[in-house]
Amino acid sequence: MQQTNSIGLFDSGVGGTSIWKEINALLPFENTLYLADSLNAPYGNKTRDEIIHLSIKNTEFLLNKNCKMIVVACNTATTNAINILREKYDIPIIGIEPAMKPAALQTKTKSIGILATKGTLSSNLFHKTAAKFTKDISVIEIIGEGLVPLIEQGKIHTPELTELLFKYTEPMVAASIDHLVLGCSHYPYLIPKLLTILPDNITIIDSGAAVARQTRSVLENNGILNTLEEKPTLQFLTNSDSATLKMLLIDYIQDINISQENF
């Protein structure tokens, strides 16, 4: 595999761009191809079989584009499908899981909250990780029903979304959490609003930076880190309307390259 081949990322939609930004910030010379499967969003309410089927479809699309590594920039797809993808494909595959470990290690109130999709919270992988790190800790699990569709529509700064955030965080605040784990790659876009809603003593944790560090070390260990310090090709593909993708990336990339394709 060539060092200059792209890192392929996929998500159920626009949310994985929060992971893409962390990866691009840490590895600014890597070529990347980001796949937003917005036509099929949200994944969070789908069955495990459906999530596996969509994850295979996206992975094969990226492999056909000669990607050197896959980043599953979606907690729902990771927690339901990553083991199957790793068995099936002989290429490094990195996933994103809710950061339960740092929250559990840092909590003083012994109470933490996790906001994620139904698909993530009902997965075996999530339960295994949560059980491992949160033995003496109370974990308030809340499904962020309706958040992903609003973010997909670009309705991030709307009263409708704010109302949902109040509703979902209220039981967590009542349970004295001091850490809120964002277990969905769409949710980092809600951090500015969450900071205005949550009491100051609650720390918000997401997994983006950890995934970027993991990406770098896997590239290094496989000898496929791009060592050419040239301007990279950054491609974004969506199978739906590109407006929200553009909105989330416009401040970050000047000559943005988004195409619409059926996949």
Binding residues for ligand DGL, per CB under 6 A? 11-12, 15-16, 41-44, 74-76, 117, 120, 148, 184-186
Q: How far is the CB of 118 from ligand DGL (least distance, A)?
A: 8
CB of 7 to ligand DGL, least distance (A): 17
CB-nearer residue toward ligand DGL: 42 or 92: 42
Q: For residue 10, what are the CA distances in angstroms to 7, 26, 78, 87, 244?
A: 10, 18, 11, 18, 16
Point out the residue whose Cβ comes nearest to ligand DGL: 44
Query: Measured from the CB atom, is 185 or 242 closer to ligand DGL?
Result: 185
Give residue 9's identity as a one-letter amino acid code: L
**Is 74 designated active site?**
yes
Least distance in angstroms from the C-beta of 16 to ligand DGL: 6
**Cα(217)–Cα(221) distance, integer angstroms:** 6
Which is closer to ligand DGL, CB of 75 or CB of 215? 75
Of 147, 152, 120, which is closest to residue 238 (Cα–Cα)? 152
Distance (Å, whole) CA 77 – CA 55? 6
- 102 or 149: whose CB is closer to ligand DGL? 149
Catalytic residue (choose from 67, 81, 184, 211) = 184
Q: Shortest Cβ distance from residue 15 to ligand DGL (Å)?
A: 4
Report the residue number, 43 or 236, with the smaller CB distance to ligand DGL: 43
85: tokens are: 């993808």
Provide the minimum distance between the beta carbon of 72 and ligand DGL in the complex, in angstroms, as a whole number.
Answer: 9
Q: Please, what is the minimum distance in Å from the beta carbon of residue 178 to ligand DGL?
A: 23
- Amino acid occupying residue 48: R
CB closer to ligand DGL out of 46 and 179: 46
The catalytic residue among 9, 73, 74, 190 is 74
Catalytic residues: 74, 184
